[in-house]
């Protein structure tokens, strides 16, 4: 660099960074020998933070706005430099502009399937994928933990490491969830919130904030989907016995279909017969009255026999048989008394009703006179 360029850089008094990309996280402001003059103007735009580094040590941090670089507004750097009453000559320091805007639509997915064990379906594998968004929340910590001496740090340089962290935490959350596997699809929001909570502290260690995290899909093998659909058709409650019998019946049918040509007919016939028998066991057949488990239903309870009667010219009742016997005993109801019950076409005398004849016979006659 020529003498004029050296002098021109030493005289620069405006420090700013205009980012025309969407993935730059940290950019080092380049000047000749990192020299900054007294009274230089620092412009920090919205979505940026400017961090001063002196000899590898983080000094002052500037938020969005315009800042005149003087001893008064550089307390940490002034202490490190030993300035008590200001400075006149240019000083050396690194300036890093850190992007604090949201880095959205960061994709993640399980490279290898997640193995799960279910008491109903046994061992099977699932896959998951989704998106997340991050932003730098603590610029000094982010520089210390991630950036280091990189002068132009992009989002691509960290997404690989973060994606591995996301997949690990998501795999643990799904494996530890107590939800039935058939309810994963309807509980993606709950699973996303669980994983988000698990990773918050992990991202904070890097000076990052995990703004959003979404599980967009959890996929499983087609055979597990079919078994879930079949189980839901069997009953609204889980019935492992029915599921086991159904699997056995289907296995027998498949085996019968795969028999060789010589014994294929017999194999298929036996297979379908056994499958049909097991299918009948899954759903009870009301027309089948044979077997030890079939029991005859008891006959219906007979209706209570009761009669209406004309007592003193007025309809009364209904009276059950016990009451009628008491009325006969007290001579309130005689053989000539008109009675009626449901099913009779007209009133009839009590002695003409078959059910009442026995009642008259069971009542003792009046005592003879003394």
Q: Is 99 exposed, middle or buried (0-12, 13-18, 19+ CB in 10 A)?
A: buried
Q: Which helix (H) or strand (E) holds 312?
A: none
Q: pLDDT tens across 168-182, in order?
A: 888 888 878 777 777
Q: What is the pLDDT of residue 4?
A: 44
Give the pLDDT band (50/70/90) at residue 300: confident
User: What does the block give as tokens for 121?
Assistant: 């379906």
Q: Is the pLDDT of residue 46 over 80?
A: yes
**What does the pLDDT read at residue 307?**
83
Three-state DSSP state, 327:
helix
Q: What is the C-alpha to C-alpha distance for residues 30 and 28, in angstroms, rounded to an integer? A: 6
Poorest-confidence range of 35-49, 281-295, 351-365?
281-295
Distance, CA of 16 to CA of 31 (rounded, Å)? 11
The pLDDT of residue 63 is: 93
Q: What was the pLDDT predicted at 53?
A: 87
Q: CA 46, CA 212: separation in Å to the nearest integer?
A: 21
Q: If you average pLDDT over every residue of the chain, what do you get?
A: 76
Q: What is the pLDDT of residue 45?
A: 92
Q: Is the pLDDT of residue 78 over 90?
A: no
Q: Hey, which of 227-236, 237-246, 302-311 has the most confident mean pLDDT?
A: 302-311
Residues 198 and 190 sit within 8 Å (Cβ to Cβ):
no
Output the pLDDT for position 275: 52
pTM over 0.85: no
Nearest to 40 by CA among 80, 95, 99: 95
Residue whose tokens read 């026999």: 305
Residue 233, pLDDT > 80, answer: no
d(CA 323, CA 99): 99
pLDDT of res. 28: 86
Token reading at 195: 């994983």
Sign of the CA dihedral with 323 first, then 326, 330, and 334 last: positive
According to the model, what pLDDT value does residue 218 have? 86
Q: What angle do CA 205, 60, 145 make, to 5 degrees?
A: 20
Read off the pLDDT band of 292 (50, 70, 90).
very low
Whether residue 95 has pLDDT greater than 80: yes
């Amino acid at each position: 660099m020529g003498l004029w360029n050296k002098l021109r850089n030493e005289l620069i008094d405006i420090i700013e960074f205009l980012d025309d990309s969407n993935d730059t996280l940290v950019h080092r402001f380049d000047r000749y020998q990192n020299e900054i003059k007294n009274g230089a103007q620092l412009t920090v735009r919205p979505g940026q933070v400017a961090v001063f580094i002196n000899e590898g040590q983080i000094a002052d941090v500037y938020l969005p706005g315009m800042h005149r670089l003087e001893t008064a507004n550089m307390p940490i750097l002034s202490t490190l430099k030993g300035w008590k009453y200001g400075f006149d000559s240019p000083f050396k320091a690194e300036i890093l502009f850190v992007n604090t805007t949201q880095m959205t639509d960061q994709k993640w997915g399980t490279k290898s399937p997640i193995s799960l064990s279910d008491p109903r379906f046994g061992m099977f594998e699932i896959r998951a994928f989704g998106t997340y968004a991050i932003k730098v929340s603590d610029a000094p910590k982010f520089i210390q933990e991630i950036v280091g001496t990189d002068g132009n740090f992009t989002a691509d340089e960290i997404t690989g490491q973060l994606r591995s962290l996301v997949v690990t935490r998501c795999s643990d959350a799904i494996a530890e969830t107590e939800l039935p596997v058939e309810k994963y699809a309807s509980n993606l929001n709950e699973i996303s919130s669980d994983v988000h909570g698990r990773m918050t502290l992990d991202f904070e260690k890097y000076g990052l904030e995990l703004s959003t995290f979404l599980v967009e899909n959890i996929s499983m093998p087609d055979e597990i989907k079919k078994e879930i659909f079949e189980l839901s058709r069997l009953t609204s409650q889980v019935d492992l016995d029915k599921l086991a019998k159904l699997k056995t019946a289907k296995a027998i049918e498949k085996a019968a279909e795969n028999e060789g040509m010589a014994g294929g007919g017999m194999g298929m016939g036996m297979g379908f017969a056994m499958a049909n028998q097991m299918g009948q066991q899954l759903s009870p057949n009301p027309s089948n009255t044979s077997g030890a488990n079939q029991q005859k239903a008891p006959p219906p309870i007979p209706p209570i026999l009761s009669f209406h009667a004309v007592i003193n010219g007025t309809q009364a009742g209904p009276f059950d048989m016990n009451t009628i016997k008491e009325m006969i005993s007290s001579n309130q109801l005689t053989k000539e008394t008109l009675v009626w019950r449901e099913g009779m076409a007209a009133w009839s005398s009590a002695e003409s009703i078959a059910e009442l004849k026995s009642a008259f016979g069971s009542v003792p006659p009046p005592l003879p006179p003394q």
